[in-house]
Amino acid sequence: MDKQVFLLDMDGVCTNFIRGASKVHGINWIDNPSDNFWNLGLTQTEFWRPITAIGESFWRELEEYPWFIDLHRMLLDKGDVVFVSSPSKDPYSLAGKIYWLQKRFGNDFRDFFLGSRKELMAGNGILIDDHDPNVDKFNRAGGQAIVFPQPWNCLRNVAKRLKDDERVDWLKGILEEALNE
């Protein structure tokens, strides 16, 4: 039997994009990340301009979430992990994301796919993503995807009650149900 493959989203699951963007903009988006940038009085251009100006170092220096190492380890115990991420329109976001991964896994690390059309990988693994539309598209394309609970998605109530050290166990339970179906 082939090993299970997990397609693990980076921003919002592994990296704390919200904290990074909050620092760049000098706002406290961290306390209410369910607000989109346009609810903060910013256009898309205004939101992305200072992040693009920083370039690859913005993405390279994003903090990993406190559960990242345990999450990655738990998934590796169950199969292979391939990181997937949608880059911004700035080409330096690609380089920053690759640097982020290689800083943790070595310069030879290549287990990633970067692109905005994650649904094209449906049927090639279980997607774990924090962005509801990505999960919906992936499932509609015939894949199996799991929403990772965050304050900005459909599992916001789950996210509110889970402590950081409980998220991996929560996901492990969901995965065990999914793999036993």
The CATH number for 175's domain is 3.40.50.1000
Residues 6 or more apart in contact with residue 165 via CB below 8 angstroms: 66, 67, 70
- Shared domain check, 176 and 101: yes
- Shared domain check, 24 and 10: no
- Shared domain check, 79 and 44: no
30 residue type, one letter? I
- Shared domain check, 55 and 68: no
Number of domains in the chain: 2
Q: What is the pLDDT of residue 51?
A: 95
CB–CB of 74/128 below 8 Å? no
Range of the domain at 98: 4-15+63-180
- Shared domain check, 108 and 44: no
Residues of the chain falling short of pLDDT 50: 1
Q: What is the pLDDT of residue 35?
A: 55
CA-to-CA dists, residue 171 to 31, 52, 62, 145, 147, angstroms: 23, 33, 23, 12, 9
- Shared domain check, 68 and 38: no
